[in-house]
Amino acid sequence: MGAVTSLNATYFELETKEVLDLLCSNDLESRLAGIRRFVDDCFSVRMDPPARDQTIAFNAMVPSEVHQAIRTLTLVGTDGVWSRLQIPCLVVHGAKDRLVRVEMSKHAAWNIPRAELKIHEAASHGLMVDAAAELNADLLRFLAKSNSSKH
């Protein structure tokens, strides 16, 4: 499968740390720059200005404390949790993701016993927008397959 066998911070792009630094800033101008950059980094296609503004406004409602808490998250122990999952799991990733490397999803799929990995080549972090039709088709197929395996 070519997946990695241990989870580590190198799965996150360097840009993620830079964006997180801005998102955690107490300076409103820096925080807004971080939100704009996060939104722009999430999608492989440029959003029209009203949709981009709405997405920026939505992300601005997330308290900076939430972004600060992300810094304290640890990846230690996730492999053990994933390995105990006994349900079918669909792991999806956008190949053009500028925030999280595809190796993260490969690692998750490798460690989840009943996982299926789907990488969307033309999508980024916001693959639900970048590849909405393809993702919805994948979800419907996965759910139908998972449901039929119950009978």
R_g of the chain computed on alpha carbons: 17
Q: What is the mean pLDDT of residues 22-45?
A: 90
User: Considering the entire predicted model, what is its pTM?
Assistant: 0.75
Q: What is the mean pLDDT of residues 123-142?
A: 93
115 burial level (CB within 10 Å; 0-12, 13-18, 19+): middle
Percent of the chain with pLDDT over 70: 86
The least confident of 81-85, 117-121, 131-135, 146-150 is 146-150
Helices 49-60 and 28-42 pack at an angle, to 10 degrees, of 120
Q: Is the dihedral of CA 33, 46, 140, 100 positive or negative?
A: negative
Q: What's residue 45's pLDDT?
A: 81
Q: Summarize pLDDT for 48-107 with one digit per residue, the tens.
A: 999 999 999 999 998 888 888 877 766 677 888 889 999 999 999 999 998 888 988 998
- Beta-strand runs (E) in the chain: 89-94, 115-120
- Other Cβ atoms less than 10 A from the Cβ of 96: the count is 18
- Give the tokens for residue 149: 């395996």
Does residue 150 or residue 58 have the better pLDDT?
Answer: 58
Q: What's residue 79's pLDDT?
A: 82
CA–CA separation, 49 and 57 (whole Å): 12
- Examine the pLDDT at 2 and tell me if it is beyond 90: no
Q: What's residue 117's pLDDT?
A: 97
